Structure 1
Amino acid sequence: MKISYNWLNDYLQDGFTDEMSSNKAIDLANILTSTGLEVESVSEIFSAFDHLVVGKVIECVDHPNADRLKITKVDVGTDVKQIVCGASNVTKGQFVVVILVGNKLINQKGESFLIKKTKIRGEISEGMICSADEIGWGNSHDGILELNPSLTRIDIVPGIMASDVFEAEKDYCLEIGLTPNRTDAFSHLGVCRDLYAYFSHRIGDKKNRILDAERVSGSFEEVREQKTNMDLNVKNTSACPYYSGFFIKNVNVAPSPYWLQTKLISIGLKPINNVVDITNFVLHSTGNPLHAFDYNQITDSKIIVRNANPGEKFTTLEKNSISLDKEDLVICDTEKPLCLAGVIGGVNSGVVTSTKNIFLESAYFNPTFVRKTSKRHGISSDSSYRFERGVDVGHASYYDEDSNGSPIGGCEYALRLAAQLIRQICDGEVVSRVQYNSDALEITEIDFSYDFCAKILGYRIEDAVIDYILSCLDFKLIDDSTKNNSIKLLVPSYRLDVTRPIDVVEEIARIYGYDNIPSSNLISFSPSTDHSVSMDDMKTNISSLLVSNGFFEIKNNSLIPESSLEFFPIESKGKAVQLLNPLSQDLSIMRPNMFFSGLQTIKHNLNRQINDIKIFEFGKTYLKISDKYVENEKLTIFTSGIFKGDNWREDAKNTDFFFMKGVLDKILDQFSLNYEAISFAKSKRDHSVVCFNYLFNDNLIASVGEFSKNILENIGVKKSVYYIDVNLDFLFSIVKDYSISYNPVSKFPSIKRDLSLLVNQETSYLDIENSIKKFNNNLLKSFSLFDMYQGEKVEKTKKSFAISFLFEDQSRTLTDDEVDKQMLKIFNYLQDEFQLSLRDGELS
């Protein structure tokens, strides 16, 4: 965003130059950057005006030795100069801009040229008559710049400074790189609010630093409404909660006065006509977009705010024809769309030279609607840039007050300011107004603690200083006696980004000055007694675990081709969510699972010789069940290729099912789940060679498996791929209130026993594991499988599981006899369940 130094200075009653060095623009840039408005570049503009004077052409004749040159006599006040000019539009009687011999002309690129007395084709030339682009006042180079006495606020006479005519003193254009959250600073007034707070805090005197809108707008007289047929009908109130406008008649559309053109040129805008220039001036002054309609183009004098009809045609101001979507919001009359709300006007709705009556619009459009419309049609404008981030519609203390003494909102202030300028500049008469206000937008309230501020900053700023800074930023402070050392704040309506106490701390810190907060060698923290986690906390914990184990997070498009259902059909009663108007067949449905896109990522990497892959993705999956759309939070993990074990001595080996099972166990372990409630079940899935489900109280937490070779070959993946699919919604319902209990390391030794079991081929370790978990034994601390054997040393119908058991008591030392009895109980329990036997030896 571009801002003008001089324009900013207009909004502070006493200006701010007295606090700055001779290099004032750089000082201002540093101040703005320190407050969070990063200045990316500073350009000097209107430098040439220091040496430009007004001249009057009193004689103009053809050059005797050149067909395209003219010899002029120019009255420059103190003398008459002969100047040779090559412009075709120079004539006798014109007021022109002249630079005399001995002065330097500085162009828009910053290049300077010394004007010398010289001969051109044998004729003396004692200066130069300038075009607009030569003096940095616009880009026009179609001949010399002819001054229009009706566009200046002073009398034009030969010899006066051109800077007085154009009101164009040397200025600086600052380019600010605004972050999307700072919608309040998308204007000169918005930037000035931060400067006001900065200087008020430094000087400690707000009286001499008040924002002076009166200097710009003058007082606004109440509209003496006359009877008109103007009517307003807002059909979509959620997309347009506020809409207001003036009917203004007898408008004289003409070039803008020089002071207004100078303002726009200073920030790189091209003047159009006085009405359009006024709306642009107000936009860049206040941040509130306006639109001026040609009233005579509004059929039946009726404004309708509605959603577009599907396929409805609309031609923009740039004469581009587009087909509208039913989600687009349009401003219409009874016959046609006039404007794409918040984005761009229609070709026949704008103000032209012949326009006599206008309808001036000021509104608040829902940012979501504007953003989607702008992206959908690829149209971006100054208005859409602001509307899609949010504009001010509520109250603000620096604005004028209405007849009841109440502050008026940002939209209303912008509308009144523009109407006032149209009265003054265009001789317009404000006849009547229409307005709709749903009062749906409320002011944010925040409970704020001084102690919280000190904790976050690591430094305590005096309470009175905090109060003063917040009042300078237009926050309203309300004492709250029920809460110790805290206050309640009313947030200014234009600060849409301030919603939490931490946001208030940021506001205080940036105005107080980060450089003024001393660094400390001490780190203060307090352990939290709240062990509950949010979904984001859970995702962060899982992500940290996976990344620390060598996984990379990916993010795929949630839109996939419908053909993917051939590989991964929907297993539930739901249906895939179809897009009504997909961009392509490859983006035609919303993903019911994340397998297809994950395998596409693996295929992409394998094709680029990246053979060892460990990736994961958090995301939503989508289904339509009956008439309802269902979204589920998922985590899907993929591995393929070789992995290295946890121990540095372990050899690298191919990833397999058990590796993935270990990853899933690690994820569940960190949330201290009750493993007695977890069971395991083998699952049959068409896309998997093998798949096991993790169940918690018979509800599915996750699945771990290996994709079938047939699926992988059809997709184009030439290596084995293993996966984990976690139902995060259900997992979160289990762990959201989990708490960690800590016990001291046992003072008493533990005892380890191994058991080698001979079981039938169809018996899985999963079945045995579930049975041991159900066996009630308080002394058994843990158990694990450490070997499985099938071969010549056992019967063909049998296999061997070797399981290690760990026993421990926190209060005493266990005896061998006690542990032997426990092992016998476990064996007898398993023998009854599975008809198994000991592979070697016996238990006593």
Structure 2
Amino acid sequence: MTISYNWLCDYLPVTIEPERLSRILTAIGLEVESVEPYESVKGSLSGLVIGEVITCTPHPNADKLKLTTVNTGEAEPLQIVCGAPNVAAGQKVIVAPVGTTIYPVSGDPLTMKVAKIRGVESYGMICAEDEIGLGSSHAGIIILPDDVRVGTPAAGFYHPYQDTLFEIGLTPNRMDAMSHIGVARDVCAYLSHHDKKEFRVKRPSVNGFKVQQQQLQIAVEIGNSTACGRYCGLSLTGIRVGPSPQWLKDRLLSIGVRPINNIVDITNFVLHETGQPLHAFDADAITGNKVVVKTLPEGSTFVTLDGKERKLSAEDLMICNSETPMCIAGVFGGIDSGVTESTTRIFLESAWFHPTWIRKTSFRHGLRTDAATRFEKGVDISQTVNVLKRAALLMADLAGGTVASEIIDVYPAIQDRKQVAIKYHYLKKLSGKNYHPDTVKKILESLGFEVMKDGIDELWVAVPYSKPDISIPADIVEEILRIDGLDNVTIPTTISISPSVEKDLDGRLREKVAAALTGAGFNEILTNSISNSAWYAEDQLKHAVRMLNNLSVELDVLRPAMLETGLAVLAHNLNRKNASLQLFEWGKTYSSEAVGSYQEQPHCCLYMTGSSQGNWRKPGSEVDFFGLKGILNQLAAAAGQPPFDWESASVAGLRNAFQLKSGKSTIGFAGQVSKEKLAGFDIKQQVFFADLDWMKLVTLAGKKEISFQELPKQLPVHRDLALLVDKTLPYAKIETAIRKTGISRLRQILPFDLFESDKLGQNRKSVAVSFMFLDEEKTMTDKEIDNMMQKIINTLEQELGAEIRK
């Protein structure tokens, strides 16, 4: 949210320098993200002066140039060569002397230097409006009135608007600070507490409001008092729609609001001043002189101010006349009831609409307006009438309007202020600071709270309507803390804590797995759960959860699979020359069997492409399937499980895919992403992917009992075998067969060589395997080792048809 320093100062009782104001705003929870100067004219005409052309003669060496002498109030006039067709002696003009920097409407800034033009020296420039940022015309130089004083700075004549803008990172609960007066209220509360003096917001007076006529009475009827809790309005006649005065344009432009006309600008001005949205209707469009606030049948059509026809929901609250809808309440106006240049009579609305109704309508139609943003957070229901008076006075002053009706105030069920009780010991417990009761009451009263009951150990306060987020004692503590300042809470010299037993297996395993992956060179990513349905096959979308109110055609479904969102990240990086990536992500997929029946499943996914990280001694090698397998075995070990069993499988989007199993449980799948899937993301290099069912892995890790034993005192014994097997035989079957022997002293099995040649025989390959044996109690004899090796050989020969190479 953007706050104008000049605008804010209108409501502050004292002047505060921008630097201090920035610190105060951050201290009270309105974090200042940036402080930027603002100029309505770039450079603010600095260095430009008003001069008078004394002489104007043809240039001796150019037909289209003039040689002038210009009095700028200095001892000597300036000789300036000018090419403008309208320059003449006796004119008052704007001059840019040597050394002045000008800022054209288009192009780069230009600093004046002594220039020789067609052989004649020129000591500055007589300016056109586009050359100094005052307009777009380049037809000729600017000619000023004759009574302007020579030597006057141009800035003193034009008074270009200058301001300082604060960009505030407003949290969603701070609706009360979504206006300049709301921010001023917090600043005054801070000053009152810290400067020990009462400061009050200088609110614009509405005492001058009065009803001048009764010519235009428009009735109001609320058909849905749940969605519209209060509706106020009045009529004005004699309106002259036209441009706003410059001060009003400057205020709006400074915060990024485009001026339109005086009526619309006043409603925008009051919105940013008070936080209360207003809407002005052309009264001639209100047939039957009656405004009805109601919903319309499902599927009704309505053309909004942007010219688009929208189909309405039965839950869209509408502002209607006696025949047709005129406005989507609190969100967007209609094309047929808006203020135009020919409007002379208006009906001005100031209302309170239920936040939930406005939020749903705003998202349903994709209309995110300033008004909807405020209504959906909850506006101050108590200020609707005063804001209406404020706007009416401005319209009378700036648009010649006459108040032509009494204020209509339809308030079906008066809202009571919420009351919250806070105990002083709770305040101390939560804040860490012991506050005096008088300090607490003064802080709260300065923020608009009213003390209802003051007890020895408890305080009851009524919450102002401007703070709809306040409902529990902790909210009151937050208000006190931010005004007093978090920096003023003393840090204790000792901290007492009770040690706790960590029971969050999910969190502990995540940390362990993340440590293993980052240690292996992986980076974590977090992708959007809302995805593009175009990425998925039809069978994947059968049970997908589709968005009902998606704001983008590319974000219309909750992802049914993890692969695609990760590929989008890979594509983004590859397009930016980041070709070697090892990424992991914890995320969820979503599915639905029927309306109202939804499931979400947590995953841990790995993506690998490009080359592994190398160093100056050893370059990185291209990632492959075996690298992925090694990483997955590390994850299995982190979960306290043996290496996964790999079984060939068919998985959508992958080739050479495998199911990962631990015992009888299928933990996930892994493989190489197919070329067809990669083409959909314009990825031209190999990508390897693994998807683990995270909760199954957590469940397995939880069943693993941790045991400890002494380190072995004996040395292990190594033996090697070279096997001739069928070329199509996977190594996993070799290892499985060996483990079936049940040899307890066999501690490790590792393949260390693969050889293929026609000399071995047709469709044969040689696999070399290393075995490690260990007996922790005694040194093994050669006979014992030979017996174990023979048992392994017999098993391999019988079950796999292997031949032992001698």
Alignment deviations for residues 305-343 of structure 1 (CA, whole Å, 9 cap, x no partner): 447865834141xxx301325569452426543223433
Paired with 1:303 and 1:175, the residues of 2 have a C-alpha distance of 40
Is 2:497 the counterpart of 1:529?
no
- Match for 1:331 among 318, 321, 324? 318
Instruction: For residue 245 of structure 1, report the CA deviation from its aligned partner.
Output: 0.3
Paired with 1:714 and 1:496, the residues of 2 have a C-alpha distance of 48
Instruction: For residue 177 of structure 1, report the CA deviation from its aligned partner.
Output: 0.4
Paired with 1:305 and 1:5, the residues of 2 have a C-alpha distance of 40
Paired with 1:491 and 1:540, the residues of 2 have a C-alpha distance of 43
- Structure 1 pair 32/602, CA: closer, same or farther in 2 (3 Å)? closer
Instruction: For residue 665 of structure 1, report the CA deviation from its aligned partner.
Output: 3.0
Q: The residue matched to 1:593 in structure 2 has which SS? A: coil
Query: What is the aligned partner in structure 1 of residue 192 from structure 2?
Result: 200
Alignment deviations for residues 697-754 of structure 1 (CA, whole Å, 9 cap, x no partner): 745432111234676578765543321123346556667x7999696x8465365354
- Structure 1 pair 44/710, CA: closer, same or farther in 2 (3 Å)? closer
Query: What is the aligned partner in structure 1 of residue 713 from structure 2?
Result: 749
Is 2:636 the counterpart of 1:638?
no
Alignment deviations for residues 206-244 of structure 1 (CA, whole Å, 9 cap, x no partner): xx23557696679999xxxxx997432349x6xx4x542
Does the 8 A contact of 1:701 with 1:730 survive in 2? Answer: yes
Q: The residue matched to 1:665 in structure 2 has which SS? A: helix
Query: What is the aligned partner in structure 2 of residue 402 from structure 1?
Result: none
Does the 8 A contact of 2:440 with 2:480 survive in 1? Answer: no
Alignment deviations for residues 619-674 of structure 1 (CA, whole Å, 9 cap, x no partner): 554555466665544444332333247x997663332212112222334444x345
Query: What is the aligned partner in structure 1 of residue 631 from structure 2?
Result: 663
Paired with 2:678 and 2:160, the residues of 1 have a C-alpha distance of 66
- Match for 1:785 among 750, 755, 766? 750
Query: What is the aligned partner in structure 2 of residue 392 from structure 1?
Result: 378
- Match for 2:580 among 609, 612, 634? 612
* Unaligned residue ranges in structure 1 (runs of 5+): 49-83, 87-106, 112-119, 139-171, 222-226, 394-409, 455-459
Paired with 2:14 and 2:144, the residues of 1 have a C-alpha distance of 51
How does the TM-score come out when normalised to structure 2? 0.62
Query: What is the aligned partner in structure 1 of residue 231 from structure 2?
Result: 245
Question: Which deviates the most, 360-369 or 707-716?
Answer: 707-716
Paired with 1:704 and 1:7, the residues of 2 have a C-alpha distance of 60
* Unaligned residue ranges in structure 2 (runs of 5+): 45-89, 93-128, 135-142, 212-216, 397-402
Paired with 1:830 and 1:219, the residues of 2 have a C-alpha distance of 104
Query: What is the aligned partner in structure 2 of residue 369 from structure 1?
Result: 360
Paired with 1:276 and 1:669, the residues of 2 have a C-alpha distance of 67
Is 2:303 the counterpart of 1:314?
yes
Paired with 2:270 and 2:677, the residues of 1 have a C-alpha distance of 61
- Structure 1 pair 562/817, CA: closer, same or farther in 2 (3 Å)? same
Q: The residue matched to 2:407 in structure 1 has which SS? A: strand
Query: What is the aligned partner in structure 2 of residue 550 from structure 1?
Result: 521
Is 2:680 the counterpart of 1:693?
no
Paired with 1:216 and 1:826, the residues of 2 have a C-alpha distance of 101
Does the 8 A contact of 1:448 with 1:489 survive in 2? Answer: no
Query: What is the aligned partner in structure 2 of residue 289 from structure 1?
Result: 277
Instruction: For residue 487 of structure 1, report the CA deviation from its aligned partner.
Output: 11
Q: Summarize the alignment of residues 97-496 of structure 1 with structure 2, pairs less than 5 Å apart.
A: 173-181=163-171, 182-204=174-196, 208-209=198-199, 230-234=220-224, 240=227, 242-248=228-234, 251-252=236-237, 254=239, 266=251, 268=253, 279-280=267-268, 282-293=270-281, 297-298=285-286, 301=290, 303-306=292-295, 312-316=301-305, 320-326=306-312, 329=316, 331-333=318-320, 335-350=323-338, 354-355=344-345, 359-366=349-356, 368-369=359-360, 372=363, 376=366, 381-387=369-375, 390-393=376-379, 410=380, 412-421=381-390, 426=403, 428-433=405-410, 435=412, 461-464=433-436, 471=444
Q: Summarize the alignment of residues 532-611 of structure 1 with structure 2, pairs less than 5 Å apart.
A: 532=504, 545-552=516-523, 559-560=531-532, 562=534, 565=537, 570=539, 574-575=542-543, 591-596=559-564, 598-599=566-567, 611=579
- Structure 1 pair 306/731, CA: closer, same or farther in 2 (3 Å)? farther
Instruction: For residue 246 of structure 1, report the CA deviation from its aligned partner.
Output: 2.4
* AA of the residue aligned to 2:410: R
- Structure 1 pair 263/684, CA: closer, same or farther in 2 (3 Å)? closer
Instruction: For residue 178 of structure 1, report the CA deviation from its aligned partner.
Output: 1.7
* AA of the residue aligned to 1:391: K
- Structure 1 pair 531/753, CA: closer, same or farther in 2 (3 Å)? farther
The total of aligned residue pairs comes to 669
Q: The residue matched to 1:653 in structure 2 has which SS? A: coil
Q: The residue matched to 1:749 in structure 2 has which SS? A: coil
Paired with 1:508 and 1:122, the residues of 2 have a C-alpha distance of 57
Is 2:21 the counterpart of 1:28?
yes
Does the 8 A contact of 1:275 with 1:422 survive in 2? Answer: no
C-alpha RMSD of the superposition = 6.5
* AA of the residue aligned to 1:664: L
Instruction: For residue 382 of structure 1, report the CA deviation from its aligned partner.
Output: 3.2
Instruction: For residue 175 of structure 1, report the CA deviation from its aligned partner.
Output: 1.9
- Structure 1 pair 500/831, CA: closer, same or farther in 2 (3 Å)? farther
Is 2:14 the counterpart of 1:16?
yes
Q: Aligned residues: percent identity?
A: 24
Does the 8 A contact of 2:270 with 2:391 survive in 1? Answer: no
Q: The residue matched to 1:386 in structure 2 has which SS? A: helix
- Structure 1 pair 461/570, CA: closer, same or farther in 2 (3 Å)? same
Paired with 1:759 and 1:443, the residues of 2 have a C-alpha distance of 82
Paired with 1:613 and 1:689, the residues of 2 have a C-alpha distance of 20
Instruction: For residue 183 of structure 1, report the CA deviation from its aligned partner.
Output: 3.9
How does the TM-score come out when normalised to structure 1? 0.59
- Match for 1:816 among 779, 788, 796? 779
- Structure 1 pair 580/740, CA: closer, same or farther in 2 (3 Å)? same
* AA of the residue aligned to 2:301: E
Paired with 1:640 and 1:337, the residues of 2 have a C-alpha distance of 57
Instruction: For residue 290 of structure 1, report the CA deviation from its aligned partner.
Output: 2.8
Alignment deviations for residues 523-545 of structure 1 (CA, whole Å, 9 cap, x no partner): 9998753341668x877775665
Instruction: For residue 509 of structure 1, report the CA deviation from its aligned partner.
Output: 6.5
- Structure 1 pair 526/828, CA: closer, same or farther in 2 (3 Å)? farther
Does the 8 A contact of 2:3 with 2:167 survive in 1? Answer: no
Does the 8 A contact of 1:756 with 1:840 survive in 2? Answer: no
* AA of the residue aligned to 1:32: L
Paired with 2:641 and 2:729, the residues of 1 have a C-alpha distance of 25
- Structure 1 pair 613/496, CA: closer, same or farther in 2 (3 Å)? farther
Paired with 1:606 and 1:195, the residues of 2 have a C-alpha distance of 49
Query: What is the aligned partner in structure 1 of residue 35 from structure 2?
Result: 40
Q: The residue matched to 2:25 in structure 1 has which SS? A: helix
Question: Which deviates the most, 632-641 or 517-526?
Answer: 517-526
Does the 8 A contact of 2:304 with 2:327 survive in 1? Answer: no
Paired with 1:581 and 1:507, the residues of 2 have a C-alpha distance of 35
- Structure 1 pair 508/641, CA: closer, same or farther in 2 (3 Å)? same
Instruction: For residue 349 of structure 1, report the CA deviation from its aligned partner.
Output: 3.0
- Structure 1 pair 718/462, CA: closer, same or farther in 2 (3 Å)? same
Does the 8 A contact of 1:255 with 1:272 survive in 2? Answer: no
Q: The residue matched to 2:716 in structure 1 has which SS? A: strand
Does the 8 A contact of 1:261 with 1:271 survive in 2? Answer: no
Does the 8 A contact of 1:620 with 1:634 survive in 2? Answer: yes
Does the 8 A contact of 1:552 with 1:614 survive in 2? Answer: yes
- Match for 1:652 among 614, 620, 626? 620
Does the 8 A contact of 1:634 with 1:727 survive in 2? Answer: yes
Does the 8 A contact of 2:277 with 2:350 survive in 1? Answer: no
Does the 8 A contact of 1:443 with 1:493 survive in 2? Answer: no
Alignment deviations for residues 783-825 of structure 1 (CA, whole Å, 9 cap, x no partner): 45343556689997786563555769xxxx6333699989989
